[in-house]
Amino acid sequence: MTTATTASLRVPSGGRSVIQRIDARWYSASLLTTFLVLGQWRFQILGDSYVPWACALGTAILTELALGKLVAGRWVNLLSAYISGNSVAILLKPAGAILWPFVLCAFLSIASKYVLAWRGKHLWNPTNFGICAVLVLASSRVSILSHQWGNELWTVAILWCLGGLTVVRAKVWHLPLAWLAAFVAFAALRAQVIDGGRFLSELAPITGPMYTMFMFFMVTDPKTIVRGKGLQIAIAVLIAAVECAIRLMAEWDLLRADSALAVAPPMYALFLVGAPVLALQLWLDPPKPAAPR
């Protein structure tokens, strides 16, 4: 067999391997599914009933189908709805057995893609917007998954390995690395300025479910990040800085411990930084129309 023939078996038409031809969103969906299965198997993160999960995922899919047909005039790919619906089911923790927060959050997440869009791009990561909105609207009834994840390092290792594969495939690996490096640096800073602060205590949240999902699903969302690798890295560091500021404000009693910002610092850091910066770039430097194929 010639070298050319061997290469043709490895690389299909178009010069890309089979792995490169797979939509990057499938990797995100696979990572999220692993997150869901491991979390429920080991820690019951969905609780005793699958009804909240069905409500969140079902609402996300139906909203995507309806708005896609109404706004875009076609049936759209449902991978985004799958990711958002499952993320809402995992992260949102309402008091008692109420279901409406799952429905509302999933609806707001998907609807934000169509309503809060400008010049062909939606401004907020859908799940980030939905979670932040519901935490503000119902802060007394809704919280977010945090310490319920446990501390088994092998679980974190599996998710981080799959997350690394996902961001490399999506070509956004520099974003979680930049954010993680900044988070570690700011954790060291907080340990110095907080009375009795300890570096490992300030670093510990990075292994939790909210920060893991944030790092691999939200700060890396290709649809809502600015253009330019250098600017992307700068914004990731800025998001980490705002997250640090929110945590310090809560530590120094400038924020109530049960306030929405104190409950989910990274979510609100992205919410407050990401969309305004993206909107500013779209205003100053509108994207060029795609060349016809």
Q: Give the tokens for residue 124.
A: 């907020």
CATH of the domain at 182: 1.10.3430
In a domain, 1, yes or no: no
Three-class DSSP category at 40: helix
In a domain, 193, yes or no: yes
Would you state the pLDDT for residue 8? 36
3-state secondary structure of 118: strand
| pLDDT for 145 | 77
> What six digits make up the tokens of 179?
């954010």
Q: What is the rounded distance in angstroms from the CA atom of residue 27 to the CA atom of residue 216? A: 11
Both tokens of 141, joined, read 């009834």
Query: Which is it for strands 117-118 and 92-94: parallel, antiparallel or unpaired?
Result: unpaired
- Please give the pLDDT value at position 9: 36
Q: Could you give the number of structural domains in the chain?
A: 1
> Does residue 69 fall inside a structural domain?
yes
| Total-model pTM | 0.85
The SS3 assignment for 121 reads: strand
- Please tell me the predicted confidence (pLDDT) of residue 19: 52
Report pLDDT for 164: 83
Is residue 239 in a domain? Answer: yes
Q: 200 lies in a domain? A: yes
Indicate the DSSP class of residue 76: P
Cα 180 to chain center, whole Å? 14
Q: Is residue 7 part of a domain?
A: no
Give 79's contacts (C-beta < 8 A, 6+ positions apart): 23, 25, 26, 28, 29
pLDDT digit of tens for each residue in the chain (293 aa)?
A: 433 333 333 444 455 554 555 566 676 777 778 777 877 777 777 777 889 899 999 999 999 999 999 988 888 889 889 989 999 988 898 887 889 999 999 999 999 999 999 888 889 999 999 999 999 998 888 888 765 555 567 777 777 887 888 888 788 999 999 999 999 999 999 999 998 889 999 998 888 878 888 998 889 988 899 999 999 999 999 999 999 999 999 999 999 888 889 999 999 999 999 999 999 999 998 877 655 55
Residue ranges making up the domain that contains 96: 21-284
pLDDT for the residue numbered 188: 96
pLDDT attached to residue 229: 93
Cβ atoms < 10 Å from Cβ of 211: 21
Is 9 a member of any domain?
no
Look at residue 42 and tell me if it is in a domain: yes
Q: What is the pLDDT of residue 180?
A: 95
Cα–Cα nearest to 60, from 94, 125, 121, 105: 105
* DSSP-derived secondary structure for 193-237: HSTT--HHHHHGGGGSHHHHHIIIIITT-TTSSPSSHHHHHHHHH
Contact, 166 vs 222, CB < 8 A? no
Secondary structure element (H or E) that encloses residue 17, with its range: none
Give SS3 for 196: coil
Helix (H, G, I), strand (E, B) or coil at 146: coil
